[in-house]
Amino acid sequence: KAGVTQTPRYLIKTRGQQVTLSCSPISGHRSVSWYQQTPGQGLQFLFEYFSETQRNKGNFPGRFSGRQFSNSRSEMNVSTLELGDSALYLCASSKQETQYFGPGTRLLVL
């Protein structure tokens, strides 16, 4: 069974731009979660989608948003990028309580 895939794998943006990241979950998984990983803060929960609805949300500003499509694929968007948004963005898919992570998208904001 194919794992979680994320595109693109690497991105370089400048401050003020916006970015959209994509995640394809494991076949049959309907829950998709997003996390931000930085050296200082570690892994932090952004939000979780299930059947196209946001079910859980972390403590991030409204510049961070997401959505899920009917085929369970998900996108997250970050608007008005700041230098501090440089991070590894990880997507995880779940069928029950366990989450399986993709390889991540490494975003660098200059």
Partner 1 sequence: QKEVEQDPGPLSVPEGAIVSLNCTYSNSAFQYFMWYRQYSRKGPELLMYTYSSGNKEDGRFTAQVDKSSKYISLFIRDSQPSDSATYLCAMSRSGGSNYKLTFGKGTLLTVNP
Does 53 bind partner 1 (CB under 8 A)? Our answer is no
Does 43 bind partner 1 (CB under 8 A)? Our answer is yes
Does 33 bind partner 1 (CB under 8 A)? Our answer is yes
**Which residue from 78, 104, 107, 109 is in contact with partner 1, where contact means CB under 8 A?**
104
- Does residue 82 contact residue 109 with C-beta atoms inside 8 Å? yes
Tell me whether residue 66 or residue 102 sits nearer to partner 1 (CB atom): 102
- Does residue 32 contact residue 93 with C-beta atoms inside 8 Å? yes
Q: What's the min distance (Å) between Cβ of 59 and partner 1?
A: 11
Which residues make up the interface to partner 1 (CB under 8 A)? 4, 31, 33, 35, 42-45, 48, 50, 55-56, 58, 90, 92, 94, 97-104
